[in-house]
Structure 1
């Protein structure tokens, strides 16, 4: 956890800094906005900015956005300075910490940002075999390709490999290749020199240099532009990078981990991914099975999320009832662990009894999971129940077909894309995976809709910070 404190270190802010260090955070200090930007451009990086409300937070947020630097901001100030707290949140700060600092509040903020809750929870043999292989190769310097459906926990496993490696005390830097536009991704990875392009107002170190000595995670690498793949291949082979607009190569010492929810061999056959790059990345392949193929993990994960979100919402943790467990295990979970996490967050909030019952286990649109899944396999149906189910399904299918008549393919496609995106809570990567299209195609469609004045759901989850 890398913490950058912006502002004077006198008094209470110095105490907050010491509390953060006591909890394992690496703390750097900048006396103002300009020095903070200089530190961030230099490659030291930060996972969190803790900023004195006396600093121009709105200006800092504007400058970070202009230079495409994505890092959350927490404002700090005296507990009686309510006006400053409101202004800081409006300016773009994620949270406000009153001073003098409370140790538990500091710990909670650091934990939320560091996402220490992303521990590996493994009960199923299918997942245990993957973790054992990960542990076996973690100490090596081999590049690793982690594959699996969206939401299975590929980044969690990548962080686990980093923690088990000899680079554990060095940076772990993650880049979502699907969430950053192609024209910005090169600068994000390799950095740029001042004046290299419009808006490059100063030299900025990229993620390769920021991860020097540690691990660089290239998340959803299948979405990377083909031209940029050539530059990435050279960086992996030669262990040197060229900043955009630079005149000399810069050596780097990193370990590469890449993830993909697509089969890269198929992408090679399509001509969208370089075969030589695949060989460089796929020294070891860790294939994570979907959640539906690791049923023993479902309840363990559900219990973990139930406790996590009970605490996050100031509620007493509740056990998961027998009927609720049955519904959880029999669900297909197309969104995998990410979908299960969202489901349990809802369940914690909806549970009205002393336990989380089946009534609280619902889909995003409010339907009970049991109703969404249909009758449990092997349970006797009511007389005529099967015939009624078939008849209702046929009537529904006929009604849907009639509703499509007279509409253009483009209109139907638009509604399908927007409905899927809404179902995925705005997560572009998840929606593209369900729709069976690339994230680039999805982005182009959404831009087209937005240009036509059609409301498009904003990015959801981790994508929000980089959209």
Structure 2
């Protein structure tokens, strides 16, 4: 009976110069429909087929004109993960011991019991193969989880949704759009996806659109030929060409000049790039990941961003939540930053005191993870002990002037309630009394995630 552990075909090669015996072995092994059996009578043909990496080989040790040890050695060299069962017409104990020492899995003497013995050995090998496949699958899953866990820290509901999307994004080659406020880790996320994707061994190339003057951006992205324009003294390879086979990360895509967007759209559609000054184009295989802290649909409505380019880039969208919406993730990230900083500087490990943690939780962190990282690293420098205290934490407490931003009335109300919650240690009754509103109003805003509570742990 086929083993329940086998879900994939087991590829078996039979090398036997006796035609009748070869058919005998092949027939019995083929009774299991999970076996893919192929018989060889010629050693040369067999050796040329080893590149197919069979799972199991039954080997006639006494082929005319060929040395058994030589063939066994060639098999082990060409296909080291293959299980070899030596079948011989001679009951030679010393030869059996030597072949197993050399690397064969087992040794069978041709007899009336060969069929049953072979079947039993093959079943054991199939169990080994199934177990190896299961271990490899588990190892791959663990490595993937560790990869994400080491890069993106957090257990909050918003970030768990992001992690699930990252897993989907890594398993597909669809274009990506990563959105979120400045400092939420958009490039970090793009790199995490690239490292777990099928393109991981190819380049990850990042371009910050807002950091490159418009008149230079075209050359930076697509490259130029020598002499293409004044100052083009050498051939320049563009970022699309540099990222061939891998991932191109276009950060702050919303800042691209409207006149340059048309060419980008054409390249994304045709997957062909022409360097400035060149007459011919070449194909590029690139996965594009775009990122922005703007609402691109608003930019489309304002005429600042092409609608057709927006939908071409959109693909799978991943929105990164701001740090203020991630609760105690803030402390997990802070401790991770602190641990990494101490290791890199080769200084004794430090930890945050309870009061230091409270101070961090009360801050809004408009700069998100980037701001938190800077604050924690500075605190590590200022601290003279193994502990980070509130005095070591330097925060920018300056707030924008009231009504300096265009917001809806509901947004201004939510901001006011949030500030009072932060100020009065998230005491809903106290805040309701101070603002002269019902506590049910505040609880409703919390449920709708218009304002957020922080634990007093």
Give the TM bin, normalised by the shorter chain.
Answer: 0.5 to 0.7
| Number of residue pairs aligned between Structure 1 and Structure 2 | 264
- Counterpart pick for 1:184 among 197, 209, 216: 216
Aligned-residue offset at 1:311: 3.0
Q: Does the C-alpha gap of structure 1 residues 183 and 307 become closer, same or farther in structure 2, counting only changes over 3 Å?
A: same
The match for 1:306 is: 338
- Secondary structure of the 2:350 match is coil
The match for 1:173 is: 205
Answering whether residue 288 of structure 2 is matched by residue 283 of structure 1, we say: no
Aligned-residue offset at 1:308: 2.0
Q: Does the C-alpha gap of structure 1 residues 354 and 379 become closer, same or farther in structure 2, counting only changes over 3 Å?
A: farther
The match for 1:376 is: 425
- Counterpart pick for 1:160 among 169, 183, 192: 192
The match for 2:94 is: none
Distance 2:252 2:163 in 1: 20
Q: Cα RMSD (Å) of the superposition?
A: 2.6
The Cα offsets for residues 208-261 of structure 1, whole Å up to 9 and x where unpaired, read as: 000000000001100111111111001111000111111111210010000000
Distance 1:317 1:364 in 2: 26
Taking structure 1 as the reference length, what is the TM-score of the superposition? 0.53
Aligned-residue offset at 1:364: 5.2
- Secondary structure of the 1:178 match is helix
The Cα offsets for residues 383-426 of structure 1, whole Å up to 9 and x where unpaired, read as: xxx9xxxxxxxxxxxxxxxxxxxxxxxxxxxxxxxxxxxxxxxx
Q: Does the C-alpha gap of structure 1 residues 222 and 150 become closer, same or farther in structure 2, counting only changes over 3 Å?
A: same
The match for 1:355 is: 387
The Cα offsets for residues 183-213 of structure 1, whole Å up to 9 and x where unpaired, read as: 1111000000111111100111100000000
Q: Tell me, yes or no, if the aligned pair for 1:209 and 1:252 is still in contact at 8 Å.
A: yes
The match for 1:206 is: 238
Q: Does the C-alpha gap of structure 1 residues 340 and 229 become closer, same or farther in structure 2, counting only changes over 3 Å?
A: same
Q: Tell me, yes or no, if the aligned pair for 2:375 and 2:394 is still in contact at 8 Å.
A: yes
Distance 1:194 1:162 in 2: 32
Distance 2:150 2:370 in 1: 12
> Gapped runs of 5+ residues in structure 1?
1-115, 368-372, 387-467
The match for 1:219 is: 251
Distance 1:181 1:118 in 2: 35
Q: Tell me, yes or no, if the aligned pair for 2:153 and 2:333 is still in contact at 8 Å.
A: yes
Computing the radius of gyration from Cα coordinates, the structure with the larger value is 2
The match for 1:195 is: 227
Aligned-residue offset at 1:177: 0.3
Distance 1:124 1:139 in 2: 23
Q: Tell me, yes or no, if the aligned pair for 2:179 and 2:320 is still in contact at 8 Å.
A: yes
The match for 2:89 is: none
Distance 1:287 1:117 in 2: 18
- Counterpart pick for 2:276 among 215, 235, 244: 244
The match for 2:70 is: none
The match for 1:316 is: 348
Q: Tell me, yes or no, if the aligned pair for 1:343 and 1:364 is still in contact at 8 Å.
A: no
Distance 1:118 1:228 in 2: 37
Distance 2:351 2:284 in 1: 49
Aligned-residue offset at 1:317: 1.4
Distance 1:352 1:245 in 2: 59
The match for 1:393 is: none
Answering whether residue 158 of structure 2 is matched by residue 126 of structure 1, we say: yes
Distance 2:265 2:191 in 1: 23
Taking structure 2 as the reference length, what is the TM-score of the superposition? 0.55
The Cα offsets for residues 25-65 of structure 1, whole Å up to 9 and x where unpaired, read as: xxxxxxxxxxxxxxxxxxxxxxxxxxxxxxxxxxxxxxxxx
- Secondary structure of the 1:302 match is helix
Distance 2:231 2:203 in 1: 27
The match for 2:25 is: none
The match for 2:302 is: 270
